[in-house]
Structure 1
Amino acid sequence: MSSAGLPQGTVPRLERPGPLRERVYDALLELIAARTLRPGQHLVESELAGRLGVSRQPVREALQRLNTDGWVDLRPAQGAFVHEPTEEEADQLLSVCSLLEAEAARLAAANSGSAGIAALERLCAQGEQAVADDDVDLAAAADAAFRAKVMELAGNVVLAELAGQVDRRVRWYCAPVVGRRGKQSWIEHRELVAAISARDEGRAVEVMRAHAEHTRTTVHERSDRT
């Protein structure tokens, strides 16, 4: 397995003011969620410390916390490795995500005005263009922004907080399948926008559940081939 060597410029050096161990944790977590640090990758404390511009101690503390939170595996006599999500973990997460996003879609259909619908349409256009340009990273970012916008339009703070807690892990698990779903994913997003625009709560729930199930199926298919 490769070490934690990162391309120059991918990790900004951290400024000193503030709770350093929290900022190191957040920085490493984002690198893992974005798959800059790949599943299974060996994480070398000294290399990470050098890239982040900190000592090894806050890196060690962050890795221990990431292990507790399920993002990193600490192996005796081997060191730290980015956790490799299992199919069962992905399935459980996507089941929860499906419930949250279906309710968000229903509430968005009940509450959204023209400005919110226009914002969703703009995000669809961005995602469709990213797919046409074969820009997987931009497509993934547009997809995350679209889902976040639906959650915002739902207008339920508690629901948004719960969704926020799983969002990074959803991005982490689903990043490899975004490119494979491609154009079809945005066709489904357009169907959701149409349901929200028509204030059809039942249809919005139906479309979102179908979208989540298609994503889960793609994750399973990918796991079967690896």
Structure 2
Amino acid sequence: MIAGDISLSSSTFSFHGDARLSASSTHLMGAPLASQSALPSQSAKLMRRLVVYSKRISGLEEAIRIRRERELRTSTTSKRRPPLRRGRVSPGLPVPDHIPRPPYVGTKLLPDIAEEHQIHDAEGLARLRAACELAARVVDYGGTLVRPSVTTNEIDKAVHQMIIDAGAYPSPLGYGGFPKSVCTSVNECMCHGIPDSRQLQDGDIINIDVTVYLNGYHGDTS
């Protein structure tokens, strides 16, 4: 910032503002000038000295200034994503008869949670490990299907086929009346979403919950 006052020849004109100079007929900011009589009367030129004053700005002030500049450059309007709307839910997919079903299939009753501790032998642990490994492969495969314009019903169909091809049963199908083979929860649907005809949009967040029933054991992953 430049500061000072301008006055020429006994204040013939003056200027006040951010850019200010100070001069008189004999001195300019303390510097002596030549006598007016020694200069041409019509084309006299004054020597001027500029004095620049600097102001120290704190880091907080500078950060606020930068933030305000960014806010002015960016648009203040933001687009809100429309609320999630349920699409059309198609019937559940068939499972071959040779694949063993969990005991709850065919009823709308939820199985009781066993209160006693379960101790598994080596064979049980091997079956449990196989069910969990299959579930992990299926959920990874389901993740590769996620992209804009794909419906969650298409994900359900692909996951269902992979599970029955492995000789397992998709555990969600028929659990308490659930109509699909996988749970697909999009955006504000927190969990246990039902696959439907809605197409995924760019920016959607989706959770895929895969559970398989293999050799009497459930492998669950999400």
Q: TM-score, normalised to structure 1's length?
A: 0.28
Question: Hey, which of these two has a bigger chunk of strand by percent?
Answer: 2
Q: TM-score, normalised to structure 2's length?
A: 0.29
Instruction: Determine which structure has more spread, i.e. the larger CA radius of gyration.
Output: 2
Report 1 or 2 for greater relative contact order, CA contacts < 8 Å, sequence distance ≥ 6: 1
